[in-house]
């Protein structure tokens, strides 16, 4: 295994983590740096049967862990947070190494990831129930929130550390135990978290990591079918989410899904233009467009359309594409060849239907096979694929609109509803458009809104359930009702 220049090299692990033990296997898979294509790790490619073994361990651990007090779980999460904070620089390097994003962005993700442990350390003692007076005056009732049980967590590659903490933090705060299956392209961040969990004193079997690159569908099936696992939490594509939902129906698991998006950015004539451009750039090209909440369709009202397009293009031309470890780099590589091919297919489709190229973009072979300079197109129309499909890459698609109702109709005319963005200085416009948009989250006059304190999730085919905030812990609990009947004041 290659090593980074880390202050604490032990953070780079080469085995899975099951029931407090580091476990290998005869079959292995390799992890590659998307920027250099160099092999950076060789990890166990485990058999699907390991899922059942791991869930058994998590189930046994749950029997005791659910009895711990919320304050005990709070202290464990706080210690985990402290360790993440102590090792922020090293964790960020691992993120950049396996994901490719610039080191500054990876540092931001690591701090954001740690904030979920801090948040849920504070939320754990606040799992309140209610006292209820039933219609029968001789009865009393109360509710309590109880942990759902073993939670199976499946995470993507685009936020290799934050996607884990905002799920596992809530689950452990609630008293659940977890089995994590990270993406095989970016497993090292998850394993580093497991190492810190061990150092934080997280009990054996509470946080487990299983690994596979060649048996991913089989792993998913096992996680969904095993009756000892009571919940699936998945972030990824809508198509995979539907498969997992169907598979989970056999045991009626509780599910929460954060799936595909097709986020509209809506810029009205009265918006602060420079701010709107800067924030649209921020949401469109964070992770070079490889985020679920990034702008996919950028609607600009006709009165400022041309000026917005020019400023937007000028900003994109200032990007510095390169290796994420170069401090001058503003944007790193895409994750793989398939990601580039999708961007190219959307660009080709749009141009064939009349789109105008104002920033050509394209591959940068001198940097490596996964590097792609952003493309910006104007004259986008609704019949183009970019309007109905998520690009998940560096394509800025600018669409002109005239009226408020017109843009609301266009923005809602998709199967997805994760995030939307509205830019206007008119409070009436902000309120009414926000209410009219069919999505789980609306960000007004800012392109970056995610925070541990804010509920994150979508509607329609973008999934259901919420992560973060006071609501996030509820997805890892069940409500128990206790009724006491036939009370009497007589002795």
**Residue 118 appears among annotated catalytic residues:** no
Separation of alpha carbons 171 and 8, rounded Å: 28
Query: Which two tokens mark 457?
Result: 């999730």
From the list 173, 183, 161, the residue with the least C-alpha distance to 114 is 161
From the list 78, 77, 113, the residue with the least C-alpha distance to 92 is 113
- DSSP letter string over 230-248? EEEEEES-HHHHHHHHHHH
Residue 219 backbone dihedrals phi, psi, to 5 degrees: -65, -45
Q: How buried is 54 (Cβ within 10 angstroms: 0-12 exposed, 13-18 middle, 19+ buried)?
A: buried
Q: Give the bridge partners for 378, in sequence order.
A: 356
CA 232 from centre of chain: 14
Contacts of residue 26, Cβ cutoff 8 Å, sequence gap at least 6: none
Q: Are 386 and 263 in contact (CB under 8 A)?
A: no
CB atoms under 10 Å from CB of 5, counted, come to: 8
Q: Are 171 and 467 in contact (CB under 8 A)?
A: no
Burial 129-150 (b: 16+ CB within 10 A, else e): eeeeeeeeeeeeeeeebbbbbb
Separation of alpha carbons 240 and 206, rounded Å: 26
Q: Please count the CA atoms within 13 angstroms of the CA of 425 that sit on its side-chain side.
A: 8
**Which one from 258, 390, 461, 467 is the annotated catalytic residue?**
258
From the list 473, 413, 404, the residue with the least C-alpha distance to 434 is 404
Contacts of residue 341, Cβ cutoff 8 Å, sequence gap at least 6: none
Contacts of residue 348, Cβ cutoff 8 Å, sequence gap at least 6: none
Separation of alpha carbons 279 and 445, rounded Å: 8
Which residues carry out catalysis? 258
């Amino acid at each position: 295994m290659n090593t980074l220049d880390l202050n604490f090299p032990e953070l780079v692990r080469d085995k899975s983590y099951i029931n407090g033990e580091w476990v290998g296997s005869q079959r292995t898979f390799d992890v590659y740096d998307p920027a250099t294509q160099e092999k950076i790790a060789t990890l166990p490619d485990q058999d699907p049967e390991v899922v059942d073994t791991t869930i058994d361990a998590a189930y046994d651990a749950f029997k005791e862990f659910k009895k711990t007090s919320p304050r005990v779980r709070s202290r464990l999460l706080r210690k985990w947070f402290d360790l993440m904070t102590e090792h922020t620089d090293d964790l960020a390097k691992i993120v950049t190494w396996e994901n490719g994003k610039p080191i500054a962005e990876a540092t931001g993700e690591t701090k954001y990831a740690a904030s979920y442990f801090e948040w849920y350390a504070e939320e754990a003692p606040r799992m309140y129930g209610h006292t209820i007076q039933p219609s029968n005056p001789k009865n009393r009732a109360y509710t309590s929130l109880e942990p759902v049980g073993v939670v199976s967590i499946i995470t993507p590659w685009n936020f290799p550390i934050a996607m884990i903490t905002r799920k596992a933090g809530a689950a452990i705060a609630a008293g659940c135990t977890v089995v994590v299956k990270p993406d095989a392209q970016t497993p090292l961040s998850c394993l580093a978290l497991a190492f810190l969990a061990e150092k934080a004193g997280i009990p054996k079997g509470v946080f487990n990591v299983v690994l596979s690159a060649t048996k991913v569908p089989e792993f998913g099936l096992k996680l969904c079918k095993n009756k000892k696992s009571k919940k699936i939490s998945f972030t990824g594509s809508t198509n995979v989410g539907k498969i997992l939902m169907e598979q989970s129906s056999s045991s009626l698991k509780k599910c929460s899904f954060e799936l595909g998006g097709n986020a509209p950015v809506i810029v009205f004539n009265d918006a602060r233009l420079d701010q709107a451009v800067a924030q649209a750039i921020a949401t469109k090209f964070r992770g070079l467009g490889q985020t679920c909440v990034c702008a996919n369709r950028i609607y600009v009202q006709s009165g400022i359309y041309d000026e917005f397009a020019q400023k937007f293009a000028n900003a994109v031309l200032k990007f510095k594409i390169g290796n994420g470890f170069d401090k001058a780099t503003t944007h790193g590589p895409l994750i793989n060849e398939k990601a580039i091919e999708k961007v190219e297919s959307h660009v080709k489709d749009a141009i064939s239907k009349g789109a105008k190229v104002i920033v050509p973009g394209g591959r940068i072979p001198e940097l490596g096979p996964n590097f792609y300079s952003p493309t910006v197109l104007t004259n986008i129309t609704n019949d183009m694929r970019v309007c109905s499909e998520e690009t998940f890459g560096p394509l800025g698609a600018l669409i002109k609109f005239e009226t408020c109702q017109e843009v609301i109709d266009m923005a809602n005319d998709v199967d997805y509803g994760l995030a939307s963005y509205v830019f206007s200085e008119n409070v009436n416009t902000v309120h009414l458009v926000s209410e009219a948009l069919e999505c789980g989250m609306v960000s007004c006059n800012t392109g970056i809104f995610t925070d541990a304190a804010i509920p994150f999730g979508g509607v329609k085919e973008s999934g259901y359930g919420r992560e973060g905030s006071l609501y996030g812990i509820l997805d890892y609990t069940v409500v128990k009702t206790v009724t006491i009947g036939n009370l009497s004041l007589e002795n």
